[in-house]
A and B are shown apart, each in its own frame.
Chain A
Amino acid sequence: MLLEVRDLHVEFHTRDGVAKAVNGVSYAVDAGETLAVLGESGSGKSVTAQTVMGILDVPPGRITAGEVLFEGRDLLKLKEEERRKVRGAEMAMIFQDALSSLNPVLTVGDQLGEMFTVHRGMSRKDARAKAVELMDRVRIPAAGERVKQYPHQFSGGMRQRIMIAMAMALEPKLIIADEPTTALDVTVQAQVMDLLAELQREFRMGLILITHDLGVVADVADRIAVMYAGRIVETAPVHDLYKAPAHPYTRGLLDSIPRLDQKGRELYAIKGLPPSLTRIPPGCAFHPRCPMAQEVCRTDVPPLYDVTESDAERGSACHFWRECLHG
């Protein structure tokens, strides 16, 4: 297994108390595999990714338990300097908003070339040539001239291509893409996703795709992990999950997708709001919003039940997963 996150717990110390952002998340990604992590804002999907990357702000963040095994070694036990060498070279991250994520005062050539001068000890000239090569690879027209330009001189789609090029620069084994298309126009979203999927296949990288967009997931992901209040509530192969969700929250998400054949009808929405991370409800965190909630949901935290039916592994953290899956 390329990456294995085991029972990760992360909390933040805030003025309102301790916010439990991640409460025992486990997931795994293999080389060439795409795992989609799905959830609302505040579900802990980005915090988990930042912990894997080692870019969590500590403090206020604190990793209280868990392991992040990357090719068998626990990244959380590495010294900062060793950890730094893993970042960018072995695993890289693509962020949501490319405009704010790229440095406004450095040329894109400098920012791409930096990967080679710092990690590979290349000369500035060679690094510049590599930068042009990368920009060509992500199909930015006139790369030779545009390499001298600044981020604000590119369109949104082109900027996200530069982010992708920067992540790909050293051919890492794992890419974490945190909502890579959220800030883009719908037409550009597909192009950027296609490019990302193409490069992933070419280099056989593991990809963790963090998103709240179920549409993006269906096309590219192999497996899905659905997160709610810092926990994984359901994990399954993409098509199984779309066909028959085994958790009421996943079902709610799928029912909220606008559908062309139901034009004119009111959109479905999960009632209520996601819980505050400083006051996560006891029992199943989803019970106050759940249409299937029973007494047991208020008191007992559901474990991630093994709900495997055919050969593909599935899990659901619902006491009533049978009813949900078959009902």
Chain B
Amino acid sequence: MGRYVVRRLLQMIPVFVGATLLIFLMVNVMGDPIAGLCGDRECDPATAAQLRREFGLDKPVWQQYLTYMGNVFTGDFGTAFNGQPVTELMGTAFPVTVRLTIVAIVAEVVIGITLGVVTGLRRGRPVDTSVLVLTLVVISVPTFVTGLLLQLLLGVKWEWIRPSVSPEAPFDELIVPGLVLASVSLAYVTRLTRTSIAENRRSDYVRTAIAKGLPRHRVITRHLLRNSLIPVVTFIGTDIGALMGGAIVTERIFNIHGVGYQLYQGILRQNTQTVVGFVTVLVLVFLVANLLVDLLYAVLDPRIRYA
């Protein structure tokens, strides 16, 4: 187990280098970062050259990458063009996104798995059919429609929630945006759980559990559910990585200043340091989330052993 974790961590190094190099090149090749600084007018050539020297942009790209990575390992993600250190931006953006992700994941786990179990046990009955149709609708409607609609109804018309989240973004204000963000994944979790439950329900070990005279709730929670959750855990695990990447659409609708918002601003203003910095951290988050999912497998299913 320990050796497996070490091996996986070592495998992360080339993935990490490759991913950051790729994003570094893409951001550099796509346009001149200085051009965006002077608004709509063209920059004064002397000022531009001065800025290029200052940010090291006159050096070859590979050298820029090495300098950048060197700095990253000392915890210096550079400065955004407005003079704010990128780490400071991360410091305000990530806690907000983490809170939003927590709301979304809790919704996926609690609502998604519950609906999945209920429908999986009542396959073909009216509850099952209606939930299935509902999930299909949720999957088909884009997030910006659901988001804007809920914002309009709950926030503006009925005034149950604040249509725009305050900069501190406390948990209670993130409930509706979190649900919007989770909606599509929630529908997938429901469907995955449903299929898995319905399949395992006919399995021999569930029949054994019933023959042992165990109460129904114990058969379901202890014998059926744990075996059925393995594919669901995979999905939720990878979804954590995706959700941490920030929900550009959801964050914009509800004016949440999280990772998605900062990335969007960074790309819009061609703010290289911000974009590369955030993506670098996201690559790490994604890799770690995947590793955790793989390790969780072994906990859920003892037949899986890592050596």
Residues of A within 8 A of B (CB): 53, 55, 57, 84-89, 92-93, 95, 97, 100-107, 114-115, 118-119, 150, 152, 166
Q: Which 5 A-B pairs have the closest CB atoms?
A: A88-B213, A87-B213, A100-B204, A103-B205, A88-B212
> Who on chain B is nearest to A96 by CB?
B204
For residue B14, CB closer than 8 A to chain A, the reply is no
For A103, the chain B residues whose CB sits under 8 A away are: 205, 208-209, 223, 227
> Who on chain B is nearest to A85 by CB?
B213
For residue B203, CB closer than 8 A to chain A, the reply is yes
For A97, the chain B residues whose CB sits under 8 A away are: 204
For A104, the chain B residues whose CB sits under 8 A away are: 205, 227, 301-303
For A118, the chain B residues whose CB sits under 8 A away are: 212-215, 218
Q: How far is the CB of A147 from chain B (nearest CB, A)?
A: 14
8 contacts between A and B (CB under 8 A): A85-B213, A86-B213, A87-B212, A101-B208, A103-B208, A105-B226, A106-B226, A118-B212
For residue B211, CB closer than 8 A to chain A, the reply is yes
B208 with A87: CB separation less than 8 A: no
> Who on chain B is nearest to A152 by CB?
B303
B207 with A166: CB separation less than 8 A: no
Q: How many angstroms between the C-alpha atoms of A104 and B207 in the bound complex?
A: 13
Interface string of B265-307 (1 = CB under 8 A from A): 0000000000000000000000000000000000011110000
For A152, the chain B residues whose CB sits under 8 A away are: 302-303
Whether A105 touches B212, Cβ cut-off 8 Å, given contacts A100-B204, A152-B303, is no
For B222, the chain A residues whose CB sits under 8 A away are: 106
For residue B5, CB closer than 8 A to chain A, the reply is no
For A119, the chain B residues whose CB sits under 8 A away are: 213
For residue B27, CB closer than 8 A to chain A, the reply is no
Q: How many angstroms between the C-alpha atoms of A87 and B215 in the bound complex?
A: 11
Q: How many angstroms between the C-alpha atoms of A114 and B221 in the bound complex?
A: 14
- Residue from A93, A105, A106, A115 whose CB has the most chain B CB atoms within 10 Å: A105
Q: How far is the CB of B210 from chain A (nearest CB, A)?
A: 5
B214 with A114: CB separation less than 8 A: yes
Q: How many angstroms between the C-alpha atoms of A92 and B205 in the bound complex?
A: 14
- Residue from B208, B218, B223, B302 whose CB has the most chain A CB atoms within 10 Å: B208
Whether A87 touches B211, Cβ cut-off 8 Å, given contacts A103-B223, A152-B303, is yes
For B208, the chain A residues whose CB sits under 8 A away are: 93, 95, 101-103, 166
B303 with A95: CB separation less than 8 A: no
Summed over the interface, the residue pairs from A and B with CB atoms below 8 Å come to a total of 72
For A92, the chain B residues whose CB sits under 8 A away are: 211-212
- Of A87, A93, A105, the residue contacting B302 (CB under 8 A) is A105
Q: How many angstroms between the C-alpha atoms of A232 and B78 in the bound complex?
A: 85
A100 with B213: CB separation less than 8 A: no
For A89, the chain B residues whose CB sits under 8 A away are: 213
B211 with A88: CB separation less than 8 A: yes
A105 with B214: CB separation less than 8 A: no
Q: How far is the CB of B36 from chain A (nearest CB, A)?
A: 55
Q: How many angstroms between the C-alpha atoms of A103 and B210 in the bound complex?
A: 12
Whether A55 touches B227, Cβ cut-off 8 Å, given contacts A88-B212, A118-B218, A152-B303, is no
B210 with A55: CB separation less than 8 A: yes
For A102, the chain B residues whose CB sits under 8 A away are: 205, 208
B212 with A114: CB separation less than 8 A: yes
Q: How far is the CB of A256 from chain B (nearest CB, A)?
A: 29
Q: How far is the CB of B223 from chain A (nearest CB, A)?
A: 5
B205 with A166: CB separation less than 8 A: no
B211 with A53: CB separation less than 8 A: yes
Q: How many angstroms between the C-alpha atoms of A95 and B226 in the bound complex?
A: 22
Q: How far is the CB of A81 from chain B (nearest CB, A)?
A: 8
| Sample of 10 further A-B pairs with CB below 8 A, known A84-B214, A92-B211, A107-B302 | A84-B213, A85-B213, A87-B213, A100-B204, A101-B205, A103-B227, A104-B205, A105-B226, A118-B218, A152-B302
B204 with A95: CB separation less than 8 A: yes
For A150, the chain B residues whose CB sits under 8 A away are: 302-303
For B214, the chain A residues whose CB sits under 8 A away are: 84, 88, 114, 118
For B302, the chain A residues whose CB sits under 8 A away are: 104-105, 107, 150, 152
B301 with A55: CB separation less than 8 A: no
Q: How many angstroms between the C-alpha atoms of A97 and B301 in the bound complex?
A: 20
Q: How many angstroms between the C-alpha atoms of A100 and B202 in the bound complex?
A: 11
Q: How many angstroms between the C-alpha atoms of A263 and B24 in the bound complex?
A: 79
Q: How many angstroms between the C-alpha atoms of A193 and B53 in the bound complex?
A: 87
- Residue from B205, B209, B222, B227 whose CB has the most chain A CB atoms within 10 Å: B205
- Residue from B209, B226, B301 whose CB has the most chain A CB atoms within 10 Å: B209
For A105, the chain B residues whose CB sits under 8 A away are: 226-227, 300-303
Q: How many angstroms between the C-alpha atoms of A93 and B209 in the bound complex?
A: 11
Q: How many angstroms between the C-alpha atoms of A90 and B212 in the bound complex?
A: 10
Q: How far is the CB of B19 from chain A (nearest CB, A)?
A: 35
For A86, the chain B residues whose CB sits under 8 A away are: 213
> Who on chain A is nearest to B202 by CB?
A57
A55 with B211: CB separation less than 8 A: yes
- Residue from B207, B212, B301, B303 whose CB has the most chain A CB atoms within 10 Å: B212
For A107, the chain B residues whose CB sits under 8 A away are: 302
A101 with B213: CB separation less than 8 A: no
A55 with B300: CB separation less than 8 A: no
Q: How far is the CB of A60 from chain B (nearest CB, A)?
A: 11
> Who on chain A is nearest to B229 by CB?
A105
Q: How far is the CB of A265 from chain B (nearest CB, A)?
A: 39
